[in-house]
Amino acid sequence: MPHTHEIPPHGHDVVPWKQSGRSGTREDRTLSEVTVSLPPEIANLDVMLPPDVIAMAEQALIQIVRTDAEFGSGLKVLNSFLIRTESVASSKLEYIEASSVDYARAIAGSKANPSALSMIAASAALTRLVDDVSQTRRISLASILAAHHDLMKEDSLDGPYAGKWREVQNWINGSDHSPRNADYVPPPAHTVESYMADLEAFANRDDVPVLVQAALVHAQFESIHPFTDGNGRIGRALINVVLRRRGITLHSVVPIASALTARRDDYFAALNHFHDGLISPLVTLFAQGCNTASLEAAETARRLIHLPVQWHGLSRNRVGSTALEIIDVLLEHPTLNVETTQRLTATSHVSANAALEKLTRDGILQEITGRSRDRVWASPDVLAELDDLDFRIAQASTPSFVTFNGRRLES
């Protein structure tokens, strides 16, 4: 292998192509063959990376472990908070946008927009993947398929393909009607199952540096593009699955998608370098992203811990009142309706409602539906912190460049 490669570059094959219907331009309709990419098999790959890349990856792992150990075990709310931040940012990378208030409304089962529902589905998929691997210590294809089902089952277009490997040729960007001018064409559909079995074997190895494994699992997954839709979001969830399996995180997830969204061009460039046989650019990007995301997650944890103290300062409620009881559970349940409040504080419908109104007047809660029935309240401080964490990670992830052997690689 020439020394400019760290891993075997992708091969190519020319295969016949035929449109299933008739759409697009004449060029789309008459396209008769397509050049597909053939990623290398990775199950037994040995990867040697430059020491500066490995050192940077180690530094990031230390930061992840610190944040997870310091806050993840005691502050349960941080873990659901970070799952939410990660799935929202991962969805944003695919241009699925909804505000934190939309998300909160959807969580409470209130009428929600499709983007917010799709973000909740992304949270469910990530939760399932990290829970499964925590229990079994194995990354399994069954778990990946189930997570894809969680993500896509309600999708109006791709719902029927939820939880199933693709059976058609797909491509990234270019024409909507054929692989003409695509940025990347994954391998043929009939190879997906065996490529995924190869990926599963690699993902369960213990003799590969952790961030190298996370980067390779993610990049190879994107190269295979095993689903008709949702490949970006499931592929990014796998980064946290590798971290959990290797014991780097025990409780929380790293909101790395906020960093990748901020450096979208570098991220896509690093995936292209992978096609050419280089994984250092992606490992570097992941190391920088994980480091920043973990530092900011720790800052969020400190802020969340202080919120109940601030709320008690704002509230003018007497000891033993339902309003004070709500403050005590608000961090764990930042979105509430009357029924949940009744259950959490063991009180009547009338006094739960009155307490929610009272806390709204104190500025501790905000009603987010604007309706007079089936109302939902949320903590504006918690919602603001969700947005602020994403913002701070993005700010700290200044688009720069990725390096290989001390050389700058252009995006």
Per the annotation, binding residues for ATP are 229-236
Closest to ligand ATP by CB, 179 or 232: 232
Q: Which of residues 152-211 bind ligand ATP (CB under 6 A)?
A: 172, 183-184
Distance CA 287, CA 182 (A): 29
Binding mask 249-288 for ligand ATP (x = CB under 6 A): -------------------x--xx----------------
Asked if 311 touches ligand ATP (CB under 6 A), the answer is no
Single-letter amino acid code for the residue at 244? R
What's the sign of the alpha-carbon dihedral 243, 244, 250, 256? positive
Asked if 35 touches ligand ATP (CB under 6 A), the answer is no
Q: Name which of 9, 8, 11 is nearest 187 in CA terms.
A: 11
Minimum Å gap between C-beta 223 and ligand ATP is 6
Asked if 87 touches ligand ATP (CB under 6 A), the answer is no
| H helix count then E strand count, the chain | 16, 7
Single-letter amino acid code for the residue at 67? T
Minimum Å gap between C-beta 37 and ligand ATP is 8
Minimum Å gap between C-beta 114 and ligand ATP is 13
What's the sign of the alpha-carbon dihedral 15, 141, 54, 293? positive
Residues 6+ apart with CB under 8 A from 365: 330, 336, 356, 359, 377, 378, 379, 380
**Which one of 58, 94, 299, 387 is in contact with ligand ATP (CB under 6 A)?**
94
**Which one of 132, 229, 325, 385 is in contact with ligand ATP (CB under 6 A)?**
229
Minimum Å gap between C-beta 224 and ligand ATP is 10
**Cβ neighbours of 399 (radius 10 Å):** 10
**Which one of 39, 226, 230, 255 is in contact with ligand ATP (CB under 6 A)?**
230
Closest to ligand ATP by CB, 94 or 154: 94
Closest to ligand ATP by CB, 217 or 382: 217
Minimum Å gap between C-beta 49 and ligand ATP is 20
**For 233-259, b where at least 16 C-beta lie within 10 A, e where not — what string?**
bbbbbbbbbbbbbbebbebbbbbbbbb
Stretch that binds ligand ATP, among 28-36, 142-150, 229-237, 336-344 (CB under 6 A): 229-237
Instruction: Give me the residues paired with residue 408 across strands.
Output: 403
367 alpha-carbon distance from chain centroid: 28
Asked if 404 touches ligand ATP (CB under 6 A), the answer is no
Question: How are beta strands 11-16 and 33-38 bridged, if at all?
Answer: antiparallel
Active site residues: 225
Binding site for ligand ATP (CB under 6 A): 93-94, 172, 183-184, 222-223, 225, 229-233, 235, 268, 271-272
